[in-house]
Structure 1
């Protein structure tokens, strides 16, 4: 993630997400703060966790499925599978590696922003 072609702000976000340091409802509740939690993108009542928000919600599963099909990679269901199994095995010194890594980083960033 620490590449010259990925903006520092996005790389830092991905680094925080990789270590579950993003302020989603589940992490806030874990710190003892009571709040009602529901994923706003899903009709069912899933708690807003990083894993659900980034990889398992209804909208994002379609996005990652498309990403996996286009780049011929296994579907990723969580941050470790994305970073280790998919992006970790790509040579970022190639055009394909640079494009794939950048698109994955931008996908994570835009999921978070939405």
Structure 2
């Protein structure tokens, strides 16, 4: 299994920036330890990573507080979809099925 087929855990903002620089399309989940819904999203994100060419990453913004403000985290899990390093859309509506996440990452981007 290649690294692109499973989510990558990022430690901090610097790792997020490097990850965004090295991938055209990124799905990021902001999570916190002890969040049951966040934990239940991990297998879903693994399925999304295997089903698409989107690079999937997870970050705990509590580990690097500037990320809370940068990502505007008000609840977790927070999914943010990036194209060419720029955040395009976000959703923070609790648990998302694999189908819902696939639709989220494949929505047409407004020009």
Q: What TM-score, normalized to structure 1?
A: 0.28
Could you say which structure has the greater relative contact order, defined with CA pairs below 8 angstroms and 6 or more residues apart?
A: 2
Q: What TM-score, normalized to structure 2?
A: 0.29
Between structure 1 and structure 2, the one with the greater Rg is: 1
By percentage of residues, which structure has more helix?
Answer: 1
By percentage of residues, which structure has more strand?
Answer: 2
